[in-house]
Amino acid sequence: MRTIEWRDGTVITIDQMRLPHETVFLELKTCDDVTEAIKTMKIRGAPLLGAAAAFALALSAYHSKSERKEELIDELENAAENLKETRPTAVNLFWAIDRILDKVRGFSGSARDLALFVVEEAQRIADENAAANHLIGRFGSELIRDGDVILTHCNAGALATVEYGTALGVIRAAWEQGKRIKVVATETRPKLQGARLTAYELKRDGIPVTLITDSMVGYIMYKRLVSKVIVGADRIVQDAVINKIGTYAIAVLAKGHNIPFYVAAPKSTFDLAHTSAEIVIEERPSEEVMYVGSQRIAPEGANVLNPAFDVTPLKYVTAIICEDGILYKEDFVKFKANL
């Protein structure tokens, strides 16, 4: 099954906070259910946040009692406002909501027709993400050689998307082509997406994966135990890639060791109207750093910083892999100019 699906007025998705211990499917019936699942990170990963926000609007529209189109549009605008307050950094969430709202505002037809249109548009957003990930996998796999050891950070896999994954999509495609590769996954403190989700996905697919703590990256690069880095992105702006906290340190280390650093992301993650200075980096609760599971690991009252993402300037990025192909620096400059 896909990571997220629409089934007769319900959104089905997997609770990512319970993995890898339990596989629990959530049946989300209202837009508020989706909003809550995003806030609590049961749903996470930039492209999945986009699809989830789209399906959340679909739930609002589908179950709405409004008989007038204008009233339904108001309801959708309110739902969109709440959704936009969940997580500020991944642009896919805003992209999907604005795409639907733009089309809704220009829609001519009855309230019922509009509701069905929103469901179809959400489904299109999900289908397009799945298709984009397979293309990213196909293009990106051209960069992968037999014997490569690929380091990835956080989880940019099927779980972070509608299916297949971005960084893990590239790894999956190379593996499906018979390339004998190995993966090094960073645990990704504090929410442990690498340990819990990336290691889980790769193990399930039979792709060799070795888990390290975030602070081991420098040493294993120094020991030449990694040949490439591939990560996902939450937002690609004019001058930088914004991704899970820790990405920047990995990129600088990769450059220092002449290891290619690739970013795999669909175009719905591109936000080329903005620069990194304009982007809100999500700050998450201090408990995430103070505790591992239910165990407090620091003295009560300790000061904590918990930015969930960081900013990697483009000079550290070898290329960006998207559904149009591999964008090296010159291609990215042209790509920006053509927008």
166 binds ligand MRU (CB under 6 A): yes
Contact status, residue 255 vs residue 261, Cβ threshold 8 Å: yes
Q: Which is nearer to ligand MRU, 41 or 259 (CB)?
A: 41
Q: Which is nearer to ligand MRU, 45 or 66 (CB)?
A: 45
233 binds ligand MRU (CB under 6 A): yes
CB of residue 25 to ligand MRU, shortest distance in Å = 19
CB of residue 168 to ligand MRU, shortest distance in Å = 8
Q: Which is nearer to ligand MRU, 228 or 244 (CB)?
A: 244
88 binds ligand MRU (CB under 6 A): no
Angle at 327 between CA 326 and CA 333, to 5 degrees: 165
129 binds ligand MRU (CB under 6 A): no
The one among 308, 311, 319, 322 contacting ligand MRU by CB under 6 A: 308
What string of H, E and C letters represents the secondary structure of the chain?
Answer: CCCEEEECCEEEEECCCCCCCCCCEEEECCHHHHHHHHHCCCCCCHHHHHHHHHHHHHHHHHCCCCCCHHHHHHHHHHHHHHHHCCCCCCHHHHHHHHHHHHHHHCCCCCHHHHHHHHHHHHHHHHHHHHHHHHHHHHHHHCCCCCCCEEEECCCCCHHHCCCCCCHHHHHHHHHHCCCCCEEEEECCCCCCHHHHHHHHHHHHHCCCEEEECHHHHHHHHHCCCCCEEEECCCEECCCEEEEECCHHHHHHHHHHCCCCEEEECCHHHECCCCCHHHCCCCECCCHHHHEECCEECCCCCCCCCCECEEEEEHHHCCEEEECCEEECHHHHHHHHHCC
CB of residue 197 to ligand MRU, shortest distance in Å = 8
β-sheet bridge partners, residue 307: 283
Contact status, residue 128 vs residue 120, Cβ threshold 8 Å: no
CB of residue 133 to ligand MRU, shortest distance in Å = 8
Provide the CA 33 distance to its chain's centre, in angstroms.
20
229 binds ligand MRU (CB under 6 A): no
154 binds ligand MRU (CB under 6 A): yes
CB of residue 89 to ligand MRU, shortest distance in Å = 8
156 binds ligand MRU (CB under 6 A): yes
Candidate ranges 71-79, 198-206, 214-222, 232-240; the one touching ligand MRU (CB under 6 A): 232-240
Which of 15, 32, 214, 234 is an active site residue? 234
Is 234 considered catalytic here? yes
The count of residues interacting with ligand MRU (CB under 6 A) is 17
230 binds ligand MRU (CB under 6 A): no
The one among 129, 243, 312, 318 contacting ligand MRU by CB under 6 A: 243
Binding mask 10-49 for ligand MRU (x = CB under 6 A): ----------------------------------xxxx--
Q: Which is nearer to ligand MRU, 126 or 160 (CB)?
A: 160
CB of residue 271 to ligand MRU, shortest distance in Å = 13
Task: Compute the distance between CA of residue 187 and CA of residue 175 in angstroms, rounded to an integer.
Answer: 22
Q: Which residues bind ligand MRU (CB under 6 A)?
A: 44-47, 90, 154, 156, 160-161, 166, 193, 232-234, 243-244, 308
Catalytic residues: 234
